[in-house]
Structures are given as structure tokens and as C-alpha cells.
Amino acid sequence: MDKVQNKGMSRRDALKRMGAFVAGAAAMSVPAALTSCGEGRKRRIILYFTATGNSLYIARQLADETTELLSIPQMVKLGRHNFEADEIGIVYPIYGHMPPNMVRNFIKQAKIRAGYKFAVLTYGMLDFNAAELWDGISRKAGTEFDYINTLMMVDNWLPGFDMNEQMKMDKHIPEQVEKVRADLRQHRKWIKPATAEDRRSHDRFMLFARLDPEVGFLKQSERYFQVTDACIGCAICSEVCPRGNYKLTSTGVKTEGSCDFCFACIHNCPQKAIRFQSLPDDPLMARGEINPNARYRNEHVSLWSIKESNRQMNG
């Protein structure tokens, strides 16, 4: 798919699509002068977190030739907290309507200086008060966003959805992207409002899921994920995990450590060799998963790009 769609693109566009801006601007420490833009053009930074590519795809859709796309796991790895540009945006997937734990910790440490700050939160089926929650979390951390919106994509929540069914649904993504682009062009100041019922629904979810609202999803990967005999030792799981939780050992692949529950490992394993453990004591996992033979990655995003975004080991 990527190959076909890159046809006819300039080299610069193709590199941007492939995520080379991430490596170029961050990992390879290109001097600031090389990443800044020409006179009169607004320089934009978009920081993103992604597990299955939806948020990276949206970050790319909101980028132009003056945009630096920066992966939050790579910024965390580099210890980079200071960002300055004309416009700075953040794109992440919501988890229980909240940001991933890594994004939450990142915003607490980040110094974001920009004339216009925006956040676009990708989700699958129900966003409830996600925009309002980000507004609260980011304000408390000392960064106020001018614009916070949500964007509906394929829902990668395996315990609740069959990916084959999700992929058949038309969620009108181009139309949603176009609206967000128009808002950003106008520097619209707007936070997607939440109703009292949205807030109640979120509170009910938190009670049911037994999650700490100050933390969100933070699990232990060894408790939730099991590597089956179908594993061929390709090491993809060790490269796509933004926490570096997977290791290839002489006795097979092992996972261990604090986990954002992003599902990059389970979705991107080419053998479908990663399965959920049976955990009747966790209400979210009580039913197992809907279709263990269906996995998802955004059709416009390559596995290479997910690895570039999330890889924690050096090299």
C-alpha cells in the first residue's frame, strides 16, 4: 500500500511519509538551521504517540513541508523536553478517554513554547470527555492548549472489537481530517465540549476498569501478554514496544516491565504469536479478546515507521 501511494511523490514527501523526519530531526540531531523553514512560513512541530499507526497517520496528514514530526517515545529516550516553534501540536490515541501514561508524564516535564498549541486525539468508538481530560491534565502540567479535538479511526481495542469488522467501517476519516486542517489554518481556539453524561460515562468506566485517574493505563506486560509457540524470534515486538519490554533470550521471547497497554506488540507481531493471558480477576480482560486471528496496523503506515517511532534499544 505504502509503495503504491508514494508513487509520484517528491523525495521530501516520501521521506516524510516514511517517518524519516523523526530520525532526521531527532535521532540524528540535525542542526536547528536545517530543520527550520523559509521566510514567512510558519514552523510547526507535531509530537505524536502511536502503536498501530492511526496517530502517526493523522500527524502526517496535519504536517506540511515546514513540520517536524517527533515521536514522544523517542523524545523520552533522548531526554528532550524543550520545544519551540510557531505552532506545536500533539497527536495521541486515547486509552479509556485518557492519554497514554507516557504522554501524560511527557507533558508534565515538557516546556512547550508556541504561539498556537493544538492537540488531536485519535479514538475508535467512544471519546466521551477525552478533550476535556487532556485540557485538565495539560493545564495542571503548565501547558495550555488552544485547540483540542478528537478524530475517529479504527478501534484497536482487541478485548472489545474484531479488527476485521472495525476495518470494514467507514469512519469518514478524510472529511474529519479536512475539518481539523481548516481549524488549524484559522488558528481556531476550541476545546471539544463534554456533556454531563460524557463525564458520568467516563466515571463509570473508571470504576469498572479499576484505573487510577492520575495514572490511566499502566500495567505489567508480563501479566497480560503471553508469547506462544508460533513465535519465530523475529524481534519485531522488541522494536515496536515504546517501553522496550520485550527481549529475545535463549529460552524464547520474554516480556517484562511497566506497560502503557498500547498494543503495539500484539498488533504488530507477524505470527499473531502474542496473546492475552486469561485474567478473570481483571474486569477489562474477563472476556479475553474478540478475535485472536485479527490484528491491525493503519494501512498507510509501515511497520518500519512504527519501529522508528517506538524503538528503545540503540542501533
Contact between 61 and ligand FMN per CB under 6 A: no
Contact between 124 and ligand FMN per CB under 6 A: yes
Q: What is the identity of the amino acid at 59?
A: A
Instruction: List the single partner that 54 binds among ligand FMN, ligand SF4, none, CB under 5 to 8 Å by kind.
Output: ligand FMN
> Whole-number minimum distance, CB 132 to ligand SF4, in Å?
25
- Taking the C-alpha atoms of residue 21 and residue 37, their distance in angstroms, rounded to an integer, is 14
> Whole-number minimum distance, CB 246 to ligand SF4, in Å?
6
Distances (CA, A) of 101 to 62, 108, 154: 24, 11, 21
Using alpha carbons only, give the angle 50, 117, 136 rounded to the nearest 5 degrees.
80
Tell me 221's DSSP state: H
- Name 228's Cβ contacts closer than 8 Å, sequence gap at least 6: 273, 274, 275
Among 125, 169, 231, 303, binds ligand FMN (CB under 6 A): 125
Contact between 51 and ligand FMN per CB under 6 A: yes
Element of type H or E holding 109: helix 101-109
> Whole-number minimum distance, CB 261 to ligand SF4, in Å?
5
- Taking the C-alpha atoms of residue 143 and residue 46, their distance in angstroms, rounded to an integer, is 15
- Name 98's Cβ contacts closer than 8 Å, sequence gap at least 6: 104, 130, 133, 137, 213, 216, 217
Instruction: List the single partner that 76 binds among ligand SF4, ligand FMN, none, CB under 5 to 8 Å by kind.
Output: none
Q: Tell which positions 249-308 bind ligand FMN, by CB under 6 A.
A: 261-263, 298
Cell numbers for 123, please give them.
Answer: 479514538
Q: Tell which positions 134-163 bind ligand FMN, by CB under 6 A.
A: 153-157
- Taking the C-alpha atoms of residue 39 and residue 158, their distance in angstroms, rounded to an integer, is 47
Residue 313, SS3 per DSSP:
coil
Q: What is the CA radius of gyration of the chain?
A: 19
Q: Burial code of 1-22, b = ≥16 C-beta within 10 A, e = fewer?
A: eeeeeeeeeeeeeeebbbbbbb
> Whole-number minimum distance, CB 288 to ligand SF4, in Å?
16
Q: Tell which positions 236-275 bind ligand SF4, by CB under 6 A.
A: 236-237, 241-243, 245, 253, 255, 259-265, 269, 271, 273-274
Q: Please, which residue, 173 or 184, has the CB nearer to ligand FMN?
A: 173
> Whole-number minimum distance, CB 259 to ligand SF4, in Å?
3
Q: Tell which positions 188-207 bind ligand FMN, by CB under 6 A.
A: none
Q: Please, which residue, 26 or 43, has the CB nearer to ligand FMN?
A: 26
What is the per-residue binding string for ligand FMN in 80-109, x denoting contact by CB under 6 A? -------------xxxxx------------
* Chain residues that interact with ligand FMN, rule: CB under 6 A: 50-55, 93-97, 122-127, 153-157, 217, 261-263, 298
* Chain residues that interact with ligand SF4, rule: CB under 6 A: 221, 227, 231-237, 241-243, 245, 253, 255, 259-265, 269, 271, 273-274
